[in-house]
A and B are shown apart, each in its own frame.
Chain A
């Protein structure tokens, strides 16, 4: 079937079986390889993307449900050359090791911060349930708190600018 959606700001129309997991449409049809396959069963979070602003595990999301929606993947998270607050914090704390899980965690964290701009440790424990085998959780937690700060600074500075 024909499926159309907006991905990272671009209109795309694909001819695929509607039950194909969105992950494979993104990776193999649109050739966006930043979204990873880890388990295919919604159990690890490596494939996390945003669909209409909500975090979704794309390995278990049939592509037909994406019809008409707005999708963001890791490739579309930053604003041009300016990294997203979460990416900036990740860079500051040198979080990635092998890096394979990182796009999924970054997308999950970005979604968390939209919902809870200043998450507590408990919020983080409850919301960030992806798997990282390299064990970068310790730095990630620090980076998540830092990302909340960066985001807050950005919001307050842009509201100051708006006031002017």
Chain B
């Protein structure tokens, strides 16, 4: 079969989407051009989108893209433009393919598309968007693919299209059967049909059901290949020297003692880093200790220095929400609280790294990344190659959480491989992970409010300062910042959702810090909701009001307001929520809406010997249509536990100009003993399309815990991590 395009024969369809078909012996592929291209949005749209909508899928619209492959064994391989980092996306996508193509779940395999085998997302895998963005386009493409093969099958079987039935990937008609693979191998010229009507969701066998993860058996057996497990023949191992001090730059390097160490192949000096390449990783590491490096330190950064930089009133100011009047700064009836959150580390279990092979003007890089397309561009640029000569292969990710939106190490690995003319594998040590993370930025919040005489909020203001989240990220070109003026990542959860209050506003202060800060699961949501929902709770206490009614009356009657009310009321009903304390145990409530998914938590907290323990979490999430309810629940459980870890345990600090701690344990994280024994997740499907699920449940967790602690101890805790 040769490469051919049917697009021109089908003008109506080609205006929407162009299909190309490619084949080789035994396999065929449908190459589709997505129409779901990010349109250049106006500032207002972006700002709205930043907190409410699912941006359309942003796959490249200029090249032919491979989505499906049919194997001789009659399996369908989906080359997914989104990667699997634990969120269960591959399973959700497989469910969609199985249902629309009428095959069994076990006939579908999902692989992350590599840049030379398929379409990779032009932006990223992140923002909890994979299923939300791909649900509709993937259904359409799978259905079109099925119909195309169905029509061909009818021809081959010599019966009318209507007389052919399909089940489990086998077409039957006229007393004969043909598999997908058999039809595909006989097709000479593909005829692209119009996209057929999609099946009603209610008729799906897999979509909407708690299907088991397709990757779990392999993961239980330790089989999947992560970036750290990749290897290439004749590969060397490397390690890199990078600064420990914040803001330090490389001044001089002395490799005399290191170069003669056993196993060392080459040591290279580059701008800002040194690469040590050896026969094995332990040898590279041993040699690294012998390299003498002098650093230029312009300044010794301290905790206080960072806090001085990062506070409300400092940096770039942007009003992100404004309704009614402001509170006078000297208003005697105003209540004002300050909140802070610390620097947070990603601490994903698989360290960052890459296996690279650069030879004869071509590069291959294997790694765990959330930004395959961007990594390709960066490597190509650094090596002076055309992007099509750089192939990026993404493995399973040992956690993402936003850390793998920055993959500058791919470039370093490629340079080292070019220098030694052999494949090179290199990855971060855990100390390097902690000291050179792209951290969750610290934040500072000032909440202001004023009650009416009847105890309702008439004024509410959220002023918040944050380091970079979206700004300075590869995902946000610099031009976007001047258009937006605000950091849309730091803004997540920063606006007030209580739109029935007559006067409210949100004001962002943005500062770029001397160390890299960036995306961390849920972005600004965790800290912003902590501040807002703690303050709301405090105001309800001040007003001597029931915290549930107090909240409900401030929510508007539009669709968004009703959906938020709904999750709150459901969580309250499920738990018989009350404000009583018994045996140093009490409940706390908080809610938020993130990317269109409202979430409410009621937590039960105990305090023993000044130690805060979360005993039970009841979570109600309106996630729209749940493609896989069990995996949505898994995402809620994971978000809740990661949230508890951030809220009660985690904190990076500056000491001697360096970021600490540098190891698990010292970087205190929630372990088995800290995870609640009961997590009760209830899903509401308030709209009929899938909405983001992997981050929204991180919103309310901090305030819900703080609000419970307030009931037990009478103390309002205002700084994360919460300590008594």
A interface with B by C-beta (< 8 Å): 17, 20-21, 24, 27-28, 31, 33-41, 43-44, 46, 73-75, 78, 83, 87, 90-91, 94-103, 106, 121, 124-126, 128-141
Contacts and interface: CB of A to CB of B under 8 A. Distances in A.
The 3 A-B pairs with the shortest beta carbon distances in the complex, nearest first, are: A34-B222, A135-B641, A100-B398
Contacts of B719: none
B399 interface: yes
B282 A17 contact: yes
Given A44-B664, A106-B220, A94 B213 contact: yes
A127 to B, nearest CB: 9
B19 interface: no
B679 A132 contact: no
B222 A74 contact: yes
B675 A137 contact: yes
Contacts of B216: 90-91, 94-96, 99
A133 B430 contact: no
A62 to B, nearest CB: 11
A5 B229 CA distance: 23
B638 A135 contact: yes
B183 interface: no
B675 A134 contact: no
B222 A96 contact: no
Interface in B514-565: none
Contacts of B229: 27, 33
Given A124-B672, A137-B672, A141-B675, A102 B638 contact: no
A44 B280 CA distance: 23
Given A33-B225, A75-B222, A98-B396, A41 B663 contact: yes
Interface stretch (B41-49, B84-92, B192-200): B84-92
B322 interface: no
Nearest to A44: B664
Contact of B634 (A36, A39, A97): A97
A40 B222 contact: no
Contact of A100 (B221, B350, B634, B645): B350
Contact of B665 (A43, A135, A139): A43
A90 B220 contact: yes
Contact of A138 (B350, B641, B669): B641
Given A98-B86, A100-B350, A137-B641, A28 B280 contact: yes
B507 interface: no
Contacts of B396: 98-99
B223 interface: yes
Contacts of A35: 222
A132 B51 CA distance: 29
Interface of B: 85-88, 212-213, 215-226, 228-229, 231, 237, 262, 280-282, 346-351, 396-401, 427, 429-430, 630-631, 634, 637-642, 645, 663-665, 669-673, 675-677, 679
A121 B221 CA distance: 25
A66 to B, nearest CB: 15
B437 to A, nearest CB: 13
Q: Which of A21, A75, A98, A138 is packed against the most chain B CB atoms within 10 Å? A: A98
Nearest to B353: A37
Q: Which of A83, A106, A121, A135 is packed against the most chain B CB atoms within 10 Å? A: A135
A95 B262 CA distance: 42
A103 to B, nearest CB: 4
B349 A141 contact: no
Nearest to B347: A133
A68 B32 CA distance: 57
A100 B281 contact: no
A153 to B, nearest CB: 19
Nearest to B350: A100
B548 to A, nearest CB: 26
Nearest to B645: A135
Nearest to A46: B349
A98 B282 contact: no
Nearest to A142: B677
A139 B222 contact: no
Given A97-B634, A98-B396, A140-B672, A36 B228 contact: yes
Given A78-B221, A99-B396, A134-B399, A44 B88 contact: no
Contacts of B427: 37
Contacts of A24: 280-282
A134 B638 contact: yes
A90 B219 CA distance: 10
B281 A98 contact: no
Contact of B637 (A28, A31, A138): A138
Given A24-B281, A43-B664, A97 B638 contact: yes
A34 B221 contact: yes
Q: Which of B213, B217, B229, B237 is packed against the most chain A CB atoms within 10 Å? A: B229
Contacts of A139: 634, 637
A132 B401 CA distance: 13
Contacts of A95: 216, 220
Contacts of B228: 36-37
A37 B281 CA distance: 12
19 contacts: A28-B280, A33-B222, A38-B349, A43-B430, A90-B220, A96-B215, A97-B87, A97-B88, A98-B86, A98-B396, A98-B399, A99-B218, A99-B219, A102-B220, A130-B672, A133-B642, A138-B676, A141-B672, A141-B677
